[in-house]
Structure 1
Amino acid sequence: MQTCKMINHWVILAVYILTFLIGLPANLLAICTFFKKLGDKPSPNDILLFNLTASDLVFLLFLPFKMYEAAVGLKWYLSQTLCSVASYVFFTTIYTSSLLLMATAIDRYIGLAFPFKYRLLRKPLYATAGSVIIWLVSAAHCSIVFITVHMPDLNATLPKTVCYENFTEKQKKILLPVRLEMFMVLYILPLLVCIFCYINCIYILYSRPHISKEKKQRAIGMALCTLTIFLLCFLPYNLSHLVGFSSNNSPSWRYYTLLPTTLNTCLDPFVFYFSSSTFRESKTVSLLKRWCFRHEKTKKMNGVLLCHLKEAQNHFHRLFH
């Protein structure tokens, strides 16, 4: 296990724990907010974001298995069936998130570019059907995990102590081309669609003078958050697919590329904030905004008082000295 020796598993464990502690409460807040909205005339955007939150929560619920793997030095002493299930969920939710972010971008673009047609097509049923298709597409692609893990190996004599690593040449012939296809279809395509949609959304908003400044700023925030997730969280891991296919072997640094993908669950709540009035107007978010505003206001007041005290001290010093 030369690869494991090159990887600092404590760094991996620390990132997983941090992601779990931040991502879980944030996404629980989001799912409760969207769940309430689903019973009261949900918009297509609410349905897409609900599925994105659900994907993040499923990811976080299975993250303790990756924590266990990191804690024991990147070894796997549990069953290979549990390994395949945990890996399958882990990777499926990553690509479900990228496709749902793409669907959200498309929804925003159509709503701005074709408002009249959008009103006719703005039905929750379409968003629900789209979400189901996205789950099925990502789940079908990631089924390669089961095929790879449970492929019979006649030369194996000892039980495997790693999870979804150290592939045979026979496994690589199937796995590496599928990974390359996932890189193109489940990453590059959604990224290009998001770039196209958000550039056009920002152009449309700034070409209409009657649109409020706040709405324009939210569109920019939404675009920046989405592109940050694609480039910071998803790009390193997907690049490992491209490198692995060209070199016919998984790169040794692939473990580290999984770390940014976990941070996706911490960044998605920012997407919820910029794209959903339901999330922005929730009670908990409103309380947080008030607390931050009061905290900032208190800091400003303390700064003003401190300046006045310094002026008084200087005046006193000039009078008596």
Structure 2
Amino acid sequence: TNERRFLGPLPSHWFLGANLSVLPHNETSDCKEQADFQYVLFPVVYSLVFVLGLAGNLSVLWYFLRTKTAMVPANIFLVNLAAIDMIFVLTLPIRVVYHAMGNNWVFGEALCKVTGSLFYANLYGSSLFLTCICLERYVAVVYPLRMLQLRRPIYRVACCVAIWVLLAVALLYLTLRGPLTRPFPDGRLACLENFSSNSWKGRISGVSLFAAVIGFLVPLVLISICYPLIARRLLEMPGMAPGSQAARRKALRTVLVVLVVFLLCFAPYHITQVVHTLRRLGVLKGCRLIRSTYAARRVTMALTSLNACLDPLVYYCAAERLQVLDKGATQEPIQMLEWVPPLPSS
């Protein structure tokens, strides 16, 4: 009596729904996701970032060590930024193998947690260190006399320690609350993806939203406020000697480079990640949304890694600018702190 009879063929999407219902309730819980381009995208991008990032950051760190300027106040945040980039690029060969094998993790749970932690440490650590550099330059340009009172390295060291501790606490919470590997339906083992619905509604969404606010939104607001003020202060400066005018142009160029690096590497990923998280929590609806955000996350995750090889460009601009400032120092008194403008003559 429970037998049902159909007068016609079933719609094709009924079969699709039936097939998906037997899959685990994870990233493909209610609609199929596919981004096969990632198996080429990640190995190519990560290999490129590994070569360029290793050469660039190693050169920067070697320069600071060779010149014994790592603890110079203007360089402390730069040293930490280079160090966290360097640590990150050393993990990329493992990620290249993972994606080249079709997202199949063969290195064990512990190494997945280590490489995953270093990926997010670089992502949010770089963002926070760039923000500290921004705030430091803002004070130096807008309040140069106050900057003289903050020249002691202890203030910057304390900020760096606080950032490392914050990163460590957040990553320990992520890694110690459960595994970061999970099998796909076809037997492959995922690392940092394919989380269950319960994981998304628990620790994953919590860490994701917390990191987006503290590691991206707050830095974005601060940088968006400070950099225009820095640019306005530099543009409003009275008549300057030729050497100082060149220094101003290079200072503005550096401001633009840092802002572009931040927006290019961090903004697309976090916007996509927040939308994807809200979809996982059921706040946003629609299969099309989850499919598009899944593919977009692949692209934006590759973009985030580019900061490891673009940050040395920031160091180069700063070093080039310092040379110009030094040449113009004979005509106007200059406070030598990266892009600090000439102090007005009394």
TM-score using structure 1 length = 0.79
Partner of 1:81: 110
Give the distance between the partners of 2:84 and 2:49, measured in 1 at CA: 15
Structure 1 residue identity aligned to 2:125: T
Q: How far apart are residue 166 of structure 1 and its match?
A: 1.3
| SS class of match (1:112) | helix
Distance 1:151 1:109, change over 3 A: closer
Q: Is the 8 A contact 1:4 1:73 kept in 2?
A: no
Q: How far apart are residue 147 of structure 1 and its match?
A: 3.7
Partner of 2:294: 252
Give the distance between the partners of 1:89 and 1:214, measured in 2 at CA: 39
Give structure 1 stretches of 5+ with no counterpart.
Answer: 282-321
1:236 aligns with 2:278: no
1:53 aligns with 2:60: no
1:172 aligns with 2:200: yes
Give the distance between the partners of 2:36 and 2:245, measured in 1 at CA: 50
1:111 aligns with 2:140: yes
Give the distance between the partners of 1:40 and 1:240, measured in 2 at CA: 39
How many matched pairs?
279
Distance 1:160 1:140, change over 3 A: farther
Partner of 2:339: none
Partner of 2:13: none
Give the distance between the partners of 1:3 and 1:94, measured in 2 at CA: 25
| SS class of match (2:106) | coil
Q: How far apart are residue 277 of structure 1 and its match?
A: 6.2
RMSD of the TM alignment (CA)?
2.8
Partner of 1:207: 236
Q: Is the 8 A contact 2:61 2:79 kept in 1?
A: yes
| SS class of match (2:191) | coil
| SS class of match (1:252) | helix
Q: How far apart are residue 276 of structure 1 and its match?
A: 4.2
Distance 1:107 1:91, change over 3 A: same
Give the distance between the partners of 2:321 and 2:55, measured in 1 at CA: 18
The partner residue of 2:43 within 13, 31, 46 is 13
Partner of 1:136: 165
The sequence identity of aligned pairs, in percent, is 29
Give the distance between the partners of 1:113 and 1:266, measured in 2 at CA: 30
1:91 aligns with 2:120: yes
Distance 1:258 1:158, change over 3 A: closer
Give the distance between the partners of 2:218 and 2:299, measured in 1 at CA: 24
Distance 1:162 1:172, change over 3 A: same
Give the distance between the partners of 1:94 and 1:198, measured in 2 at CA: 21
> CA-to-partner distance for each residue in 1:131-172, whole Å, 9 max, x for gaps?
11112222322334314542899x999987110211112211
1:29 aligns with 2:71: no
Give the distance between the partners of 1:151 and 1:28, measured in 2 at CA: 30
Give the distance between the partners of 2:225 and 2:312, measured in 1 at CA: 22
Q: How far apart are residue 204 of structure 1 and its match?
A: 1.0
Partner of 2:307: 264
Q: Is the 8 A contact 2:180 2:191 kept in 1?
A: no
Give the distance between the partners of 2:71 and 2:134, measured in 1 at CA: 17
Distance 1:146 1:40, change over 3 A: closer
Structure in which a larger fraction of residues adopt helix: 1
Give structure 2 stretches of 5+ with no counterpart.
Answer: 1-27, 282-289, 325-346
Q: How far apart are residue 32 of structure 1 and its match?
A: 0.9
Distance 1:208 1:200, change over 3 A: same
Q: Is the 8 A contact 2:276 2:294 kept in 1?
A: no
| SS class of match (1:162) | strand
